[in-house]
Amino acid sequence: MTSAPIDESIIDVVEPRKDTLGLPEPALARLKRSGRPLYLDDVYKIRSKEWRHDDAGARADKSKSALLSAATKVTDLTTHIGTEIEGLQLKDLTDQQKDELALLIAERSVVFFRNQDISPQQQLALGKYYGEVEVHPQVPQVPGNLGVTVIWPDLQATERTVNFRQPGGASRWHSDLVHELQPAGITHLHNDTVPPVGGDTLWASGYSAYEKLSPDFRKIIDGKLAVYRSAHPYLDRRNPEGGPKHIERVHPLVRVDPSTGWKALWVNRTFTDRISDAILSYLFSVYEGNVDIQVRFKWTPGTSALWDNRITIHNASWDYGGKYPRHGTRVTSLAEKPYYDAAAPTRRQALGLLDEGELLDYGQQGAEGLTQM
Residues annotated as part of the active site = 174, 176, 314, 330
Question: Which amino acid, one-letter code, is at 215?
Answer: P
For residue 306, the number of C-alpha atoms closer than 13 Å in the C-beta half-sphere is 25
Q: What is the Cα–Cα distance from 103 to 90, expressed in whole angstroms?
A: 15
Question: Which amino acid, one-letter code, is at 87?
Answer: G
Burial label, 317 (beta-carbon count in 10 A; 0-12, 13-18, 19+): middle
- Is residue 251 within 8 Å of 140, Cβ to Cβ? no
Sign of the torsion formed by the C-alpha atoms of 320, 333, 159 and 30: positive
Q: What is the Cα–Cα distance from 299 to 327, expressed in whole angstroms?
A: 11
Burial label, 146 (beta-carbon count in 10 A; 0-12, 13-18, 19+): middle
What angle separates helix 95-108 from helix 120-130, to the nearest 10 degrees? Answer: 70
- Phi, psi of 105, deg, nearest 5: -60, -40
Q: Which of 314, 290, 325, 289 is nearest to 198 (CA)?
A: 325
Residue 79 CA, distance from chain mean position: 20
Beta-bridged to residue 203, according to DSSP, are 295, 314
Sign of the torsion formed by the C-alpha atoms of 153, 157, 162 and 166: negative
Q: What is the Cα–Cα distance from 370 to 373, expressed in whole angstroms?
A: 5
Q: Which residues have C-beta within 8 Å of that of residue 153, sequence separation ≥ 6?
A: 168, 169, 322, 326
